[in-house]
Amino acid sequence: MMQNIWKELKKAPLTAWFGMVVIAIYIFVSIFAGVLAPYGETDPVGFEYEPWGGDFLLGTDNLGRDMFSRLLYGAQNTVAIAIVTTLLAFFLGGVLGLLAASLGGVLDQVFSRIMDVLMAIPQLIFALLLLTIFGTSLINMVLVIAVLDSTRVYRLARAVAMNIVVMDYVEVAKLRGEGLWWQIRHEVLPNAMAPLVAEFGLRFCFVFLFIAALSFLGLGIQPPTADWGSMVRDNATLITFGDITPLLPAAAIALLTVAVNFVVDWMLHRSSGLKD
């Protein structure tokens, strides 16, 4: 098993290797942020907007907190929350999409029309409305983003499964008397896994950027929790003075997004069966 995985990895292009290395670094930082950070996540340790160097590698923010430490904790918070939200969105959208394709009929029409309605409303505006109504707690934010993003997952899962449920091996499973969930778990899902895994990477990027956008607008991860989106907003005034400190969390967001897209692009290329 490990030999096959390593054999496939050796065939990966440099862009995919770059993406995997960057993702591994982000995961490492997310796990060990508390050990790597020289200061606490919310501790004011100096004056506001202190310059780079000395006791503060990347200076301090608007409240005198260490920017380097906040960046590390921001990776832990933002990435972890994005992963949890993406997993929940995939569970909701994937289960409903596979179920709709397998059963068809009225259930498929009802699910699809509900998803059409949710997708017709601009996602960011809808999220802002719901968070304003229900509050900006972390649980509310995760649930709102997961439900809204599950509509995209539903569409993909249903489209892929529709081409699988008509295959002969699925008909054979029905004739053997296998139940609906057995058919989905053993026949439909394994054959739909490649595009779904690739879509998971893309969905993670969208969720990651969505959380950062909400935090920048003040309705995402709430202070004093370190978050890259809110860090850009809190220190945006420094751009007026030619200081690039507010761009650091923005660059961290962009780098992870590019890295994940490189890996997803390679995975899509492999699953498509195309040759270089």
The Cα 27–Cα 17 span in angstroms is: 15
For Cα atoms 203, 205, 206, give the angle at the middle one, nearest 5 degrees.
Answer: 65
Non-local (6+) Cβ contacts of 9 within 8 A are none
Dihedral angle computed from the Cα positions of residues 8, 14, 20 and 22, in that order, rounded to the nearest 10 degrees = 170
Helix 105-120 to helix 67-103 angle (10° resolution) is: 150
If DSSP codes are grouped into helix, strand and coil, which group holds residue 41?
Answer: coil
Give residue 146's pLDDT band: very low, low, confident or very high (50, 70, 90).
very high
Position 274 pLDDT exceeds 50: no
Average pLDDT, stretch 184-194? 83
Report, as an integer, the average pLDDT of 89-94.
Answer: 91
The Cα 11–Cα 276 span in angstroms is 11
How large is the average pLDDT for residues 70-85? Answer: 88
Domains within the chain, CATH numbers bracketed: 15-272 (1.10.3720.10)
Percent of the residues in the chain that have a pLDDT greater than 90, as a whole number: 10
The reported pLDDT for the residue numbered 8 is 66
Closest CA to 71 of 235, 197, 192: 235
Q: What is the mean pLDDT of residues 83-87?
A: 91
pLDDT of 160 strictly over 50: yes
Q: What gap in Å lies between CA 192 and CA 185, rounded to an integer?
A: 10
pLDDT higher than threshold 80 for residue 273: no
Checking if the pLDDT of 201 tops 60, the result is yes
Q: What is the mean pLDDT of residues 158-180?
A: 83
pLDDT reading at 3 higher than 80: no
Does pLDDT of 271 surpass 70? no
Buried residues in 244-276 as b, exposed as e (16+ CB within 10 A): ebbebbbebbeebbebbebbbbbbbbeeeeeee
Cα 14 from Cα 179, distance rounded (Å): 44
pLDDT of 275 strictly over 80: no
Q: Which two tokens stand for residue 156?
A: 């993909």
Higher pLDDT, 276 or 9: 9
Contact 253, 17 (CB under 8 A): no
pLDDT, mean of residues 13-21 = 88
